[in-house]
């Protein structure tokens, strides 16, 4: 309860109040990329998820795009990639703790999207 003049007692938000409310770079930017949100949720639903399974979850994805997305999400600390050097090779993707938090927050979004536009 300070008497800071910059923050009026009004409960009506102004532009200044939400100025810090708009992260544009970083994770938000990553999530804007194609399939990013869905990949997080798909991995969360299938854990552990293998590359081919993830690929199959999307009807049409080019391997390069999916590969890039997986790398980015792993790099961002949202996915954990574990490779087993067997023959044939086997890779398992899981959510990190951070990724799980994100997934929990993302799932309601996908639920809403589905309920609103069932045709995809």
Partner DNA sequence: CTGTATCCGCGGGGATACTG
Partner DNA sequence: CAGTATCCCCGCGGATACAG
Candidates 7, 8, 34, 90: give the one binding a copy of itself (CB under 8 A): 34
95, containing H or E segment: strand 90-95
Minimum Å gap between C-beta 42 and DNA is 13
Question: Which residue in 63, 108, 115, 120 binds DNA (CB under 7 A)?
Answer: 63
DSSP labels, 9-76: S-SS--GGGGGGG---SHHHHHHHSTTHHHHHHHHHHHSSB-HHHHHHHSSS--HHHHHHHHHHHHHT
91 is an interface residue for DNA by CB under 7 A: yes
Write the interaction track for DNA spanning residues 15-34; mark x where CB under 7 A is met and - where it is not: -----------------xxx
Angle of the 63-75 helix axis to the 36-46 helix axis, nearest 10: 80
Q: Which residues bind a copy of itself (CB under 8 A)?
A: 12-19, 21-28, 31-35, 37-38, 41-42, 45-46, 52-54, 56-59, 98, 101-102, 105-106, 108-114, 116-117, 120
């Amino acid at each position: 309860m300070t008497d800071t003049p910059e923050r009026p007692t009004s409960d009506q938000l102004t532009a200044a109040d939400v100025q810090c409310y708009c992260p544009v770079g970083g994770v938000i930017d990553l999530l804007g990329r194609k399939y990013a949100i869905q990949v997080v949720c798909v991995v969360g639903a299938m854990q552990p998820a293998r590359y081919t399974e993830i690929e199959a979850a999307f009807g049409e994805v080019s391997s390069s795009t999916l590969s890039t997305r997986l790398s980015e999400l792993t790099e961002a600390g949202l996915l954990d990639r574990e490779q087993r050097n067997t023959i044939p090779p086997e890779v398992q993707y899981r959510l990190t703790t951070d990724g799980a938090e994100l997934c929990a927050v993302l799932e309601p979004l996908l639920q809403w999207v589905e309920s609103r536009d069932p045709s995809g």
